[in-house]
A = this chain, B = another copy of it.
Amino acid sequence: MRPIEPTAFQRGFGTLSEAERDEIRRIEAAPVQHFGPRRVVIRQNAQFGSAHIVAKGWLAEQKLLHDGRRQILNFRLPGEIVGLEGLAYSKAVFSIVTLTDVELVPVSREAFEHLQRRSPRLASIIFIRAFQTQVILREWELNLGRRDAFARLVHLLLELHRRLRDLGMAKQCRYGLPLTQEELADCLGLTPVYVNRMLKRAREEGLAHFEDRTIVFDDLDRMRQIAGFNAYYLQPDRDPERTTAPPPQ
């Protein structure tokens, strides 16, 4: 059962005309696809299929090296569209895998082209949203290139907290984190053993600890300070409606 009420995908679209609402409904009308955890949705080097709206669950983008080393590039959460690179590339240059149970609404290239023709304004809003993804990738580059292991881990935990909170998926000081330490390591460019040591350090320093599979923050302020965390990059604050609206005339 998909909710009748606004889906996460619709957040931030602003005021829509009736025709635009129809277009969104049309896109979201495709049958939901269910995936279990640790499944491949889009496989690196394989031919691109359709893009997908994330309706539920966590996904990760990842790239593999020939020897099997893995880098997780970004997380993708409900409301986002994954696989739009397929508009530019015929083969996937990175994989998209599920981390939890996931529900996806496929958006075929034809459906997206239809949207572009029928409502270029909506298409633009979707494209402009993709700039947030770009900005997150750049923050990850900074994290990987210039922060030490501890600050790197702390920064990642804070980023996820903020993103989940915006989706109503995190409490003030905790959230379920469906990652093994090995997967955390693959986000951070570290080894699982060292991630374990950094988590221990965070615990011992009274910053955060795990209970079951949820991370609990014990000193958010100090964590923000350690990581140099500034959430602005996660909150695009320019109204795409304004950008794409007809002129005031």
Contacts and interface: CB of A to CB of B under 8 A. Distances in A.
A130 B134 contact: yes
A16 interface: no
Interface footprint category on A: 35 or more
A20 interface: no
A93 B135 contact: yes
Q: What 10 pairs across the A-B complex have the smallest Cβ distances?
A: A145-B189, A120-B120, A127-B127, A88-B236, A144-B144, A137-B137, A71-B145, A88-B131, A71-B142, A93-B233
Contact of A84 (B86, B120, B131, B228): B131
A240 to B, nearest CB: 7
A161 to B, nearest CB: 19
A142 B73 CA distance: 7
Interface stretch (A35-43, A61-69, A199-207): A61-69
A88 B137 contact: no
A172 B41 CA distance: 38
Nearest to A236: B88
B237 A89 contact: yes
Interface of A: 61, 63, 65-66, 69-71, 73-74, 84-91, 93-94, 109, 112-114, 116-117, 120-121, 123-124, 127-135, 137-142, 144-147, 186, 188-189, 228, 232-233, 236-238, 240, 243-244, 246-247
A116 B238 contact: no
A133 B133 CA distance: 11
A130 B133 contact: no
Contact of A238 (B87, B131, B145, B189): B87
Contacts of A128: 87-88, 127
